[in-house]
Amino acid sequence: MAVRLQPSWLSWVSSVAGCLNALGVACDNVDVAGHSGYAFLMNVGDNVCVSGPTTVNFSLLASGLLPLGRSILVFTGATCMKGKSNDFRFAYDFVAGEIAAGRPCVVWGAHVPEFGIAVGVEDGKYIVESLTQQHDPIPFDKLSACVGVQMLAFPTAAGRMGVERDGSALHRALACLRSQTGDPKYANGQAAYDRWIAAMESEKTDPFGNSYNAQCWTDAKRMAGEFVKRLAGRQPAVRKQLSDAAAAYGDVVEAMEKIAKLFPFPDADKKVSDPAIRAQAVGPLRAAKAAEARATDALAQAAAAWPKRDLTKEVAMLAPCGIDCATCDILARGECAGCQGDRRKQWSGDCGIRQCCVDDKHLAFCSQCSGFPCGALKDWAAVYPHHGTALERLKSMT
């Protein structure tokens, strides 16, 4: 099975893009990083440890990929104990089924704690293509899956989402920029810059992790700027605001490139141990923080000015919860008429969300409710990636 990996320091991004390309989806790393929201994160751990760029919610990021044209199936194991859990065996069988159907999968722990693409299986081993350029087959229970086994598949064509695709990506970007990690060991967004600056002003900085973070987040911000430029090109009504955001990201990248140059990976010379070199990093980090704050403000202005549309025709196949019934396999098999269709022929006739939204409140969509998004809808959206995408779709319609 032939795949092509586009170089990126964010191996999840390059692996996803490689899988989608192999399945006939025209996209690149910028599309994946932008629609998923990864480009708009910056997760920095204590002492700028190496785990920051990969300690993110990849299941949540995956839910943003649906507009690119494939359904998303995520498997995340509950343990990181190599070979001592059924998770590793189940994941292998899961991937083997996808490979047999001619579909590559994203796998975590491909030779090192990074992502790669499983292109084959044999005798209980994965055959993986990755940016590490290592090609030895990996026994299914020997993945370097230090935070638990993770797999991502794209089983069916889903159709590129036509309802506010760019608007949904914009709201996701803002959510990622403003999100908090919930783990005191890590900080995201503006707080991540503060943590990184504090590390530069102390002697408690991991040389390997610091240089890795520098390369990863410089790459992420470069893709963020390019993605926003693409949005500006497609959205004339808010081009000014989006162009301002893209220009601000240009300043972020200029500052971050200074950091990446100061600390080349893997910083074998331990330059970060030199107080004089660390001091040189503080100014660029502060400049990057200020520039990304400007970018965030401009993106928020774009979201506020986003043109409202007559969605009458476009939402004809949307369920009250935001799921696009037109992309559903159950409807395609003729086993359901869609959530807006004949109730005598519906797959989930007792849906609690529809009962609340349509029957009790006489609304068409949850986004029309004064309590949107309610706790019940948020809990539902957290269960599966396509539920999260449905909620983001509803947000783009408000």
5 touches 15 (CB < 8 A):
yes
Are 285 and 364 within one domain? no
Are 142 and 196 within one domain? no
Buried b / exposed e across 275-298, counting CB within 10 Å, b at 16+?
eeebeebeebbebbbbbbbbbbeb
Query: How far apart (Å, rounded) are the C-alpha atoms in residues 242 and 298?
Result: 7
Write out the two tokens for 184: 């005191």
What value does the mean pLDDT of the chain take?
Answer: 88
Are 300 and 331 within one domain? no
Q: Report yes or no on 316 lying in a domain.
A: no
Domain C-terminal end among 304, 336, 355: 304
Query: How far is C-alpha 37 from the chain's CA centre?
Result: 5
**Tokens 């709201």 appear where?**
171
Total number of domains in the chain: 3
pLDDT single digits (tens) 346-382: 777 778 898 898 888 877 789 888 889 899 999 998 8
| Residue 332 pLDDT > 80 | no
Q: Report yes or no on 67 lying in a domain.
A: no
Q: Report yes or no on 371 lying in a domain.
A: yes
pLDDT single digits (tens) 23-50: 999 999 999 999 999 999 999 999 999 9
Strand partners for 45: 186
Q: Report yes or no on 68 lying in a domain.
A: no
223 touches 12 (CB < 8 A):
no
Strand partners for 117: 106, 129
Q: Report yes or no on 276 lying in a domain.
A: yes
Are 290 and 188 within one domain? yes
pLDDT single digits (tens) 247-260: 999 999 999 999 99
In this prediction the pTM is 0.79
Are 231 and 337 within one domain? no
Confidence bin at 302 (pLDDT 50/70/90): very high
Q: Of 316, 262, 254, 265, give the one whose Cα is nearest residue 290.
A: 254
φ and ψ of 127, to 5 deg: -105, 115
| Residue 161 pLDDT > 60 | no
The pLDDT of residue 163: 41
Q: Of 290, 203, 216, 211, give the one whose Cα is nearest residue 255.
A: 290
φ and ψ of 138, to 5 deg: -110, 120
Which range marks the domain in which residue 90 is found? 11-36+73-153
Are 297 and 229 within one domain? yes
Q: Report yes or no on 86 lying in a domain.
A: yes
Confidence bin at 245 (pLDDT 50/70/90): very high
The pLDDT of residue 364: 78
End-to-end CA distance of the chain: 43
